[in-house]
Structure 1
Amino acid sequence: MTAIFFDLDDTLYNQLQPFQSAYNAVFSHITNISILELFKKSREYSDRVFHLTESGEMPVEEMHRKRMIYAFDCFHHRISDEEAMDFQKIYKEHQYKITLAPEMENILNYLSTKNISLYILTNGPSNHQRLKIEALNPFQWIPKNHIFISSEVGYAKPQIELFEHVNAQTKTTASTSFIIGDSYENDIIGANNADWNSIWLNTKQRKMPLNQRHPNYEVTSYQKLEEIIKNIF
């Protein structure tokens, strides 16, 4: 039976929305930076050091602070530790006010009519990720026992062990499992290594790393994701 595993951040919802709200609250005086590009740089840093936060070598709070300092540095702006942490505080507040992308709601409704098992597979701290999931309230489509969070499992994307673990727990197979996610490094490389199928939701127009296998499908908008889902399933 086909199983679809959705990433959480920047997949079930558009992560740029809470980021934009926090930026407007703290950095509205800086008007010469693309907020999308700033967001991409902040994610670039957090993806690079995620394994350190998982292992406990870097406190999550330090990663939050450093990723914004790094992102602004990329655009030749210096911000203080206090500004970085003020931003994170407001960003976190808005992350608990998120809603499903409208097209994602259509997708979940559609897939629920196709006898396809739906899951969430996300990296991150347990409490933080669960509060975001509660805000999205996807439980009419995805049961609470269909949620897998790296910090609870003990493995994180792209580790093959995580993909093997969820296949074992859900009695699904790699060949009939799909992951839909925004992170090439975590979602797509992980899926490729585990012989899963993958759909890269690349709404931020990130470049694929060189010498890597392509996802099975790549889409650049939620609208295109909805179209391709209806073509595949």
Structure 2
Amino acid sequence: MNKEISLVFDIDDTLYSQMEPLLTACEFSLGRALPDPELFYRIFGKRSAEMFLFSESGQVSIHESRLYRIENTMKDMGIPFTREQAEVFQARYKENQSHLHVSDTLAGMLDTCQEAGVKMGVITNGPFAHQVQKFHTLGLDKWFTEDQLIVSAGVGVAKPDVQIFRIAEEKWGMNPANTYMVGDSLENDITGAKNAGWKTIWMNHHRYTVSPGMAELDYIAYTEEELRKLVEKLI
């Protein structure tokens, strides 16, 4: 066992699959299946990141940002979508998020880390109350205390800003040279952590390609089982 290693996890689309609750909410509001679910997911992720910045800066309310992201996603896909449908989508998506869970595979991985005494933490971007509620809904309090959770809105800085990683180092007593960031966002989680001098594990279950000039990646996991095996090997 490597007692020096520390593991820090993202939440959304890392410790649970974000795609299923999104797709079911979208198809419910549309009344039909999406023509290209993977394209929808990618555009929605881009639009979510954009609107997150607007809501963080106070330019729009959190609720408005959530409506705009789905409306703009549908516009990008050329699918007619009304404000009423956006409201229906958001209500159903919120309902779906109340039933989130960590898979057996990832639960087993976290059990192993906890039993091995690995120092762990969670860093997530988003509104404070919303992300804390999600943390408890997922049952992450089995493996982490709230003191092991950093929410961007709670510290006034978000990934990929290096400062949020520095806050984690100080708060949890982690050595950047031995700390791994595990996340799905190449920009927020991986590039941000690399810029902070951390090691990284990219949870790339959507099999995105890496742009030329990107910093060298330490590890990539394409499935939860690959992530479990990799983490258990590292610790």
Secondary structure of 1:120's match?
Answer: strand
Partner letter of residue 211 of structure 1?
G
Q: Does 1:231 align with 2:233?
A: yes
User: Counterpart of 2:89?
Assistant: 87
Q: For the residues of structure 1 that align with 2:108 and 2:127, how far apart are their CA atoms?
A: 28
Secondary structure of 1:66's match?
Answer: helix
Q: For the residues of structure 2 that align with 1:172 and 1:210, how far apart are their CA atoms?
A: 31
| Matched ranges for 1:143-182 at <5 A | 143-182=145-184
Q: For the residues of structure 2 that align with 1:144 and 1:62, how far apart are their CA atoms?
A: 28
Aligned length: 232
Q: For the residues of structure 2 that align with 1:78 and 1:98, how far apart are their CA atoms?
A: 29
- Report if the CA contact (8 A) 2:128-2:153 is conserved: yes
Q: For the residues of structure 1 that align with 2:77 and 2:28, how far apart are their CA atoms?
A: 19
Q: Deviations over 1:188-227 (max 9, x none)?
A: 1110110011101011222333321132111111111112
TM-score, normalising length from structure 1? 0.94
- Report if the CA contact (8 A) 1:64-1:85 is conserved: no
Q: For the residues of structure 2 that align with 1:78 and 1:174, how far apart are their CA atoms?
A: 47
Q: For the residues of structure 2 that align with 1:115 and 1:179, how far apart are their CA atoms?
A: 17
Q: For the residues of structure 2 that align with 1:82 and 1:231, how far apart are their CA atoms?
A: 49
- Report if the CA contact (8 A) 2:182-2:202 is conserved: yes
Q: Deviations over 1:66-102 (max 9, x none)?
A: 2212222232212011211210111011112100022
Q: Does 1:7 align with 2:19?
A: no
- Report if the CA contact (8 A) 2:14-2:203 is conserved: yes
Partner letter of residue 182 of structure 1?
D
Q: Deviations over 1:84-126 (max 9, x none)?
A: 1210111011112100022110110111122211211100001
- Report if the CA contact (8 A) 1:39-1:71 is conserved: no
- Report if the CA contact (8 A) 2:128-2:154 is conserved: yes
Identity %: 25
Partner letter of residue 150 of structure 1?
S
- Which structure 1 residue ranges, 5 or more long, are not aligned? none
C-alpha change, 1:208 and 1:53, in structure 2 (3 Å) is farther
- Report if the CA contact (8 A) 2:135-2:141 is conserved: no
Q: For the residues of structure 2 that align with 1:34 and 1:72, how far apart are their CA atoms?
A: 12
Indicate the larger mover: 106-115 or 45-54: 45-54
User: Counterpart of 2:125?
Assistant: 123
Q: Deviations over 1:110-143 (max 9, x none)?
A: 1112221121110000111111111111222112
Indicate the larger mover: 106-115 or 177-186: 106-115
Q: CA deviation at 1:32?
A: 4.9
CA RMSD between the two structures: 1.5
Q: Does 1:106 align with 2:130?
A: no
Q: Does 1:71 align with 2:73?
A: yes
Q: CA deviation at 1:60?
A: 2.1
User: Counterpart of 1:217?
Assistant: 219
- Report if the CA contact (8 A) 2:202-2:219 is conserved: yes
Secondary structure of 2:142's match?
Answer: coil
Q: For the residues of structure 1 that align with 2:49 and 2:65, how far apart are their CA atoms?
A: 10
Q: For the residues of structure 2 that align with 1:61 and 1:211, how far apart are their CA atoms?
A: 36
Q: Does 1:206 align with 2:193?
A: no
User: Counterpart of 2:50?
Assistant: 48
Secondary structure of 1:139's match?
Answer: helix
| Structure 1 residue runs of 4 or more that deviate by more than 3 Å after TM superposition | none
Q: Does 1:24 align with 2:27?
A: yes
- Report if the CA contact (8 A) 1:3-1:117 is conserved: yes
